[in-house]
Structure 1
Amino acid sequence: MPNARAVPTLRRRRLGEALRKYRQAAGLSLDQAARAMGWDESKMSRIETAKARMRPQDVAPLLKLYDVTDHSVVAPLEALAKDAGKQGWWQSYGDVVYLSYKDYLTLESDAESIHTYSADLIPGLLQTGAYAREIISATAINRTPEEVAALAEVRKTRQAILTAPKRPLKLWAVMHEAALHQRFASLPALMRGQLRHLLDMADLPNITIQVMPLTATPHPGMLGLFSVVRFPHPWPTVVDLENIRGGYFVEGTDDVKVFESSFDRVVAAALSVDDSRELMRNLMERNGP
């Protein structure tokens, strides 16, 4: 049965964390803030710990109590309180999509931009359906063929955020050249189609693609895949780290800055956008007609 609480739990957690930050900055205790709102302390605690719903109409009065009246802060928090209970399209896939992946899809759908580095794979947002199925089949240990097909479908569906008519996601992807040399014995034409897709996506104004050459100097990306996920004000940046068991998030300001700086160094070590495009085009042509 689908975990209907997964998506709102993440959004409520981010809302609760923001409200707690503003309360603490105002120098108020849980009890003081609760009494001022006419609530009991347990209700305030449950809201801040994402265990209770926050009514959108209560957001502005609570923030005013904390001396926060800036519309650019109040409006996004009201919107988040309103959207906290919404179900993402991925909920229909039930337990096939693990909780950590559902959390990431929620963040991705709310994001303004993503900067990502991938050493051995084409980033998920840029994969063709055929490539996604082959990669998931090889890496998703203990998954049935039906689950592999479902996960490949999820991966393709989430790419709609790149071409959304309103506020499409800004994607800056750096991938290692080694990923472009991948071969699939049973599908010899697969990589040509994948490379053609990368070139087509690189033509979009909101997408930047660079290739890390085989001859690159050492850089922070050598330690593994990471994505820097940015949101509209006032939401803080989050870093997603992935491994064979899924992913986890880095949210502390100082830690996030390390990854932002690391991505800048990755970009500097990679080929330019034009040279990357030329390399992808040459590799595509080598893959036959």
Structure 2
Amino acid sequence: MATGDSPAGARRRVRLAVREAREAKGYTQSAVADAMDWSLSKLVRIELGEVTITPNDLRPLLTFLGVTDKDVVDSLIQDSRASRRRKLWWDEPKFRDALTPAIRQLIQFEAEATEYRSYNVLFPAPLQTQAYAEALFRSYGGSELPEDVRRARVETRQRRRAEMLRRNDGIKTYVLLDEIALRRPYVPRDVMVDQLTDVLSLVERSDVMVRILHFDADIPPSLFGAFEILTLPTGDAILYRESGLSDELVEDAAEVTRHREIFDLRWDRALDDDESRAMVERTIKSLSSGNPPAGAAPPGSTGRGTRRRREAE
């Protein structure tokens, strides 16, 4: 199956077409579910991409929604068949019960994305070492995340990491870390040293770029927290946001564009590749010697925020 015809992409095309046709008619989800003699949850899950829709269900649904163009209908029926993929590892009960619907969809899109961008105050999930992920999840109590769920989520991150780094089809990975990710002790010192050392090995690859957004970067305030953006083979993109134990996958083009603009601005104002690598190296040296994490941009750094502040002085 070609990348552009992946199950995730096919399912996305179907659910977006269904939702857009319903909204164009001005129908509520309840009205459509009643007309099709379905439960409301069935239609909601179809539009969210949590379940596939069979060709036998899709044909009458498209007719009811006024989608009658033969080429369009045939294309969506083909997508419906393509989306009904064989079960993969994230469908196994231990993962399905531990992962949110948004994460399960995100994993599928990661397999076909051409570009991955992440802005975070932590190392992004697909690039975390196992020890780093385990240390983060230990911060949750058993009432928040049972032990079996934590184990499944740690294993999920390791699988995502392995699959992303194994891809040889040119996916570009852009990781933008807030300086706080290096300076705040979210995890034990030895775990952080190993994670940072791993980062240095990753940036040796031509497809992985890591930059540090230092504290004095010249950027406007933003209400956006951590987020990930995946660019798909079709050229459009999806946004993933996670806050604590809640998360969401966003496909609204305007919302994705706003986040991409914020990312690009911060990427441009961050320390450049060499300066970012030097900061990571200093932090490793400092932590290994038992000192607090090293400071941010050194004298002479060329990050735009530092340069503009000097010019103002």
TM-score normalised to structure 2 length: 0.68
Judge conservation of contact 2:11–2:79 (CA < 8 Å) in 1: no
Give the match for residue 159 of structure 1: 161
Report the AA paired with residue 152 of structure 2: A
Report the AA paired with residue 174 of structure 1: L
**How far apart, CA to CA, are the structure 1 residues paired with 2:274 and 2:77?**
40
**How far apart, CA to CA, are the structure 1 residues paired with 2:254 and 2:285?**
44
What is the aligned residue count? 258
Q: Relative to 1, partners in 2 of residues 1:196 and 1:219: Cα closer, same or farther, differing over 3 Å?
A: farther
5 Å-filtered alignment, 1:32-47, equals none
5 Å-filtered alignment, 1:1-289, equals 12-18=11-17, 52-54=53-55, 65=69, 78=78, 81-92=81-92, 93=94, 94-119=96-121, 121-139=122-140, 142-167=144-169, 169-183=171-185, 187-219=188-220, 223-233=224-234, 236-288=236-288
RMSD of equivalent CA atoms: 3.9
Judge conservation of contact 1:173–1:210 (CA < 8 Å) in 2: yes
Report the AA paired with residue 170 of structure 1: K
What is the CA deviation profile of residues 59-79 of structure 1, one whole-angstrom value per residue up to 9, with x for unaligned ones?
A: xxxx994557xxxxx6x9956
**How far apart, CA to CA, are the structure 2 residues paired with 1:20 and 1:227?**
24
Report the AA paired with residue 227 of structure 2: F
Report the AA paired with residue 12 of structure 1: R
Tell me the CA shift for residue 160 of structure 1.
1.9
Report the AA paired with residue 214 of structure 1: F
Identity across matched positions, percent: 20
Tell me the CA shift for residue 149 of structure 1.
2.3
What is the CA deviation profile of residues 25-76 of structure 1, one whole-angstrom value per residue up to 9, with x for unaligned ones?
A: xx99xxxxxxxxxxxx959xx8x85662239xx9xxxx994557xxxxx6x9
Report the AA paired with residue 161 of structure 2: Q
What is the CA deviation profile of residues 253-277 of structure 1, one whole-angstrom value per residue up to 9, with x for unaligned ones?
A: 2222111111111112211111101
What is the CA deviation profile of residues 88-140 of structure 1, one whole-angstrom value per residue up to 9, with x for unaligned ones?
A: 31222231223232222222223221211103x11112211101001112147
Deviant stretches of 4+, over 6 Å: none
**How far apart, CA to CA, are the structure 2 residues paired with 1:278 and 1:139?**
32
Tell me the CA shift for residue 250 of structure 1.
2.1
TM-score normalised to structure 1 length: 0.73
**How far apart, CA to CA, are the structure 1 residues paired with 2:80 and 2:71?**
19
